[in-house]
Amino acid sequence: MTVDDFRRIALEMEGAIERSHLNHPDFRAGGKIFATIHLDRRQGMVKLTPEQQERFIREYPGVFHPATGLWGREGCTMVRFAQANEDAVGEALALARENLAREGRNDSSARRVKARMRTR
């Protein structure tokens, strides 16, 4: 697949928009990043959970690999475009987008609990 394929699939995700972060394209929903395109345009990043990352690396060796450092340990997963196929990348991007939605629901729940605690 190509960088343009990655961009097209990312922008098909619900509420996705393209912006720029640290001089490279990123894809956001609700103001939060779920994917990026690396400066070299040969790979991108999808923000998975560590468990999701482990599965993609196992099922698609040579395509997915952890980002370096803490980001990678927390689930940020690099995608090599030349070795990738649209189905695998589409699934990874959909999971990354869903993870943001889940985070948002958890954030909202936490805010409601904190608000209730303040009123007591």
pLDDT score at 37: 98
pLDDT score at 87: 97
Q: What is the pTM of this model?
A: 0.85
111 or 27, which is more confident: 27
Mean pLDDT of all residues belonging to the chain: 89
Does the pLDDT of residue 9 top 50, yes or no?
A: yes
pLDDT score at 116: 47
Measure the CA–CA gap between 108 and 13, rounded to whole angstroms. Answer: 22
CB 4 within 8 A of CB 44: no
Structural domain including 103 reads 3-118
Q: What is the CATH number of the domain that holds 33?
A: 3.90.1150.30
Q: Structural domain tally of the chain?
A: 1
pLDDT score at 13: 96
Q: What is the pLDDT of residues 53-108, one digit of tens each?
A: 999 999 999 999 999 999 999 999 999 999 999 999 999 999 999 999 887 665 54
pLDDT score at 67: 97
